[in-house]
Structure 1
Amino acid sequence: MKKVITLLFLVSFGFINAQKAFTGKGDIKVNVGANLQDGGTGIQGSVDFGLGENFSVGFVSSYLIGVDNYSGFYNGGSYAYLDERPDFVDRFDAKARINANLSSVIGVEQLDVYPGLSIGTHNFGGHVGGRYFFTDGFGVFTEIGVPIAKFGSSNNLFHDLNNQVTFSLGASFNL
């Protein structure tokens, strides 16, 4: 029972003392977290720089640590792969991105909802995310990314690793 009361107190304290999530021009946000997707899991890091009241640009990169090896016939081919492992270039992705930061639009200052577009080493895509700040410097984030146009050859065995829907969650920091 003490654990439940303590947890409720901490959650209540976090919501009562929540801080403004996006302040606009000059605001810098850093996200670090887990990247979850089909066929692998990894880490993701991003940084966003506020350029206006509701606009930011930034960078995001991810690296898949746990990736399923592949065995079988790929894409209807006649060559049988046996326990094939992806290379670094198959695991790593880097993107430049733009966001529309909507905390002032939706009227909830502690929650920054940000849809946006990105272009990177594997695809052109879109994303939607959210950040909630418990204090002036610390919060949590979650984000979903979707590829719109894929780059490269679909004949590459691991082409789909960074060309699929991704889900990320983790910690967010205000610099």
Structure 2
Amino acid sequence: MKKIITLLFLVSFSFTQAQQAFKGKGDIKVNVGANLQNGGSGIQGSVDFGLGENFSFGFVSNYLLGVDDNNLGGKRTPDFSERFDAKARINANLSSVIGVDQLDIYPGLSLGLRNFGGHIGGRYFFTDGFGVFTEIGFPIAKYSNNHELYDNLNNQTTFSLGASFSLD
């Protein structure tokens, strides 16, 4: 019973002490977390810079630490260039639109090393500088129709989750 009461207290405290997720111009958000996708998993890092009340631009990169060679039919280990991807992106930050200051829902577009894509994510801040994020990214147009062994590693739908930090 003590554990349940403690859990309820922590959850209610985190919601009452939650802070504004996106403040607009001058806002800087950094996300660090796990990247999960078919055939591999790794880390993702991103930074977003607020340009206006509901608009930001930023950069995202991911690196696959583990690649399931058997799932991809591989006969060799993928090299760095096959595991790494980087993108520039723009976001529409909707926290003020939906009316929940602590939650920032951000759909957007990205232009990367391997494709033109989109993403939708969300950030929830528990304190002024710390929160959690989740994001789904997907390719819209691939630059190559090459079906080399590991070409699909960074050309597919990805799911990410982790910690978010406010640097403003």
With the length of structure 2 as denominator, give the TM-score of the two structures: 0.95
Gap change, CA 1:31 and 1:71, over 3 Å in 2: closer
Identity of aligned residues (%): 76
- How far the C-alpha of 1:126 sits from its partner, in A, is 0.2
Structure 2 unaligned regions, length at least 5: none
Could you say which residue in structure 2 is the equivalent of 1:58? 58
- SS of aligned partner of 1:108: coil
Q: Do 1:70 and 1:85's aligned partners in 2 also have CA atoms closer than 8 Å?
A: no
Q: Kindly provide the amino acid, as one letter, of the partner of residue 134 in structure 2.
A: T
Could you say which residue in structure 2 is the equivalent of 1:146? 138
Paired residues, what number? 167
Could you say which residue in structure 1 is the equivalent of 2:79? 87
Structure 1 unaligned regions, length at least 5: 75-80
- How far the C-alpha of 1:131 sits from its partner, in A, is 0.3
- How far the C-alpha of 1:152 sits from its partner, in A, is 3.0
Could you say which residue in structure 2 is the equivalent of 1:37? 37
Could you say which residue in structure 2 is the equivalent of 1:13? 13
Partner deviation per Cα, 1:89-111 (whole Å, 9 max, x = no partner): 01000000000000001111110
Alignment of 1:98 onto 2:87: no
Q: Do 1:153 and 1:159's aligned partners in 2 also have CA atoms closer than 8 Å?
A: no
Could you say which residue in structure 1 is the equivalent of 2:103? 111
With the length of structure 1 as denominator, give the TM-score of the two structures: 0.91
2:78 and 2:2 map into 1 onto residues whose CA distance is 47
Higher-Rg structure is 1
Could you say which residue in structure 2 is the equivalent of 1:67? 67
1:69 and 1:90 map into 2 onto residues whose CA distance is 13
2:117 and 2:37 map into 1 onto residues whose CA distance is 15
1:3 and 1:36 map into 2 onto residues whose CA distance is 31
Could you say which residue in structure 2 is the equivalent of 1:174? 166
Partner deviation per Cα, 1:145-174 (whole Å, 9 max, x = no partner): 010011234232101100000000000000
1:29 and 1:103 map into 2 onto residues whose CA distance is 14
Gap change, CA 1:153 and 1:88, over 3 Å in 2: farther
Could you say which residue in structure 1 is the equivalent of 2:153? 161
- How far the C-alpha of 1:85 sits from its partner, in A, is 1.2
Q: Kindly provide the amino acid, as one letter, of the partner of residue 106 in structure 1.
A: I
Gap change, CA 1:147 and 1:71, over 3 Å in 2: closer
